[in-house]
Amino acid sequence: MRYQICVSGAASGTTVQSSHQLAFELGKAIAAGGQTLLTGATVGLPHYAAMGFMSVADSRGVSVGFSPAASYREHVATYRLPTREFDYINFTGMEYVGRDVHLVRSSDAIITVGGRMGSLHELSTALESRKVCGVLLGSGGLADYTQTLLQHVEAPGAKDVIFDTNPARLVQKVIEALEKKYADFVDDGMDSHISARRAGRG
């Protein structure tokens, strides 16, 4: 399967300055694994992850942005958000809070790098939604407080959150957790049915 992995992180602030290369490496690792990258189609650390993803020329994956805007014009002119690093942008029209929920609920897993309150919202939504969650330690902000937070605030799936200091290793651990989660998944054969129909038409 090609999993949809969300990278969540600060759009601005000190962690963008200190951890942008870590976010870039997360994006590269997701691309190298042939997975789909989901971000909030925003600036800062998610943008660096999208840039890292696009730097892998032979990737089989796709970069998808979930915009708070309702249209391309609003995305660029009102929110002043990037477009170049995405294969597709979902214009949610939900502003930032609604966009966050749509983004996380559309993901198979979420990885937190750095992060402020918006990232906390995404992480809590992911935990409540029983998504696979990874946290990049050493990236500052929310990421480095998550272990302490989960020790003091009860949350579903808290014991299953994956922590690591290495971006590529963290992505691999997240993919392994997804493979375990979907181990009982059985292909419905839709691709083979489509191929058979097309062959019949020929």
All domains in the chain, ordered by first residue: 4-201 (3.40.50.450)
Predicted confidence band of residue 145 (pLDDT cuts 50, 70, 90): very high
What pLDDT, in 10s, does the model give residues 32-70? Answer: 999 999 999 999 999 999 999 999 988 889 999 999 999
- Give yes or no for residue 182 having a pLDDT over 80: yes
The rounded mean pLDDT for the chain is 92
Q: What local confidence, expressed as pLDDT, does residue 7 receive?
A: 98
Predicted confidence band of residue 187 (pLDDT cuts 50, 70, 90): low
What pLDDT, in 10s, does the model give residues 68-109? Answer: 999 999 999 999 999 999 999 999 999 999 999 999 999 999
What pLDDT, in 10s, does the model give residues 2-37? Answer: 999 999 999 999 999 999 999 999 999 999 999 999
Q: What local confidence, expressed as pLDDT, does residue 167 receive?
A: 98
pTM: 0.90
Q: What percent of the chain has pLDDT over 90?
A: 87
Residue matched to tokens 């600036």: 43
Mean pLDDT value across residues 174-200: 67
Predicted confidence band of residue 196 (pLDDT cuts 50, 70, 90): very low
- Give yes or no for residue 170 having a pLDDT over 50: yes
Q: What local confidence, expressed as pLDDT, does residue 192 receive?
A: 44
